[in-house]
Amino acid sequence: MAWQGKRVVELAPSGQVDALAPTVSLANGVAMPAIGLGTWPMDDAEAAGAVARAIGRGYRLIDTAQNYGNEAGVGAGVRASGVAREEIFLTTKFNRAWHSVAGVREACEASLKRLGMDYIDLYLIHWPNPDQDRYLDAFHGLQRVAEAGLVRAIGVSNFKPAHLARLLDAGLVPQVNQIQLDPYHPRADIVAIHQDDADHYRIEQAVTTRPFARTMAYDPQRQAIFTVTAEGVVDPAQPVNTGPARFYPNAYFPGSMVVLTYAPTRK
């Protein structure tokens, strides 16, 4: 199944989707696809193939990171897909070595070179790394590369409530907060921040589902996330946890969230 506007449609027999995911509007107006492909722990060769195939099946959001070591492969996959760059939403992240204003600019330019792109759609602080206490400086660096036109949106990843609170208290508001969220990691404390402050801060949540799904789709009428495997789709009308895939009720993905799925193998 895949999105088409506000409804869910069936996959074509060939496995190609005939519709694209909907988008969510970030606080700065940038449109972000609601379903994307995560590329950890693929290497460059695996990422190149997986990204090209995913784009061919309708994915438009691709997530990578400096630490994944596959940005070059992701860029190659985007180019091999034949889809125009402006139709793809690329997310990448920088690590702790670059937590300074100048460091973020250097890391950003290095990622752009590896990707073979001239801009990044979403650039994230990968981890707060509170032991070195420089993530506020890193966020100021994000603001600078956004002002320079190198990135379209900025945000954070793996930030706990205390880290987010410190940013917000300093007047620094990420447009996206990427977290791992699944039935074993419900992250109620972080989800509550987004629900309580949604109207004020408008921080979008991007959630990763590894290792629970290969492809996912959302049906707004039934308020449900579908898990899709190569064998097929589990429909909400069927009992939970039957068949080759697993159906997760929307309680695990409350509110407006962007879902990143992980498929580290070629299967």
- Is 6 inside any structural domain? no
Q: Which residues of 214-227 are buried (b: 16+ CB within 10 A; e: fewer)?
A: bbbbbbeeeebbbb
Which residues form the domain of 232? 24-262
- Is 64 inside any structural domain? yes
- Is 3 inside any structural domain? no
DSSP letter assigned to residue 129: -
- Is 7 inside any structural domain? no
Residue 201 falls in the annotated catalytic set? no
- Is 236 inside any structural domain? yes
151, 179 contact by CB (below 8 A)? no
Which among 49, 48, 47, 59 has a CA at the least distance from the CA of 15? 59
Give the helix ranges, DSSP H, for the chain: 44-56, 71-81, 101-115, 135-147, 161-169, 188-196, 198-201
Number of structural domains the chain divides into: 1
Catalytic hit among 59, 68, 248, 252:
68
One digit per residue, the tens of pLDDT, for the chain of length 267 reads 232 222 222 323 334 444 577 888 888 899 988 888 889 889 999 999 999 998 998 889 999 999 999 999 999 999 999 999 999 999 999 999 999 999 999 999 999 999 999 999 999 999 999 999 999 999 999 999 999 999 999 999 989 889 988 998 999 989 888 887 766 666 777 777 766 655 455 566 555 544 433 334 444 344 343 433 333 333 333 433 333 333 343 434 444 567 676 654 444
**Residue 255, burial from CB neighbour count under 10 angstroms (0-12, 13-18, 19+):** exposed
Whole-prediction pTM value?
Answer: 0.78
CATH number for 63:
3.20.20.100
- Is 66 inside any structural domain? yes
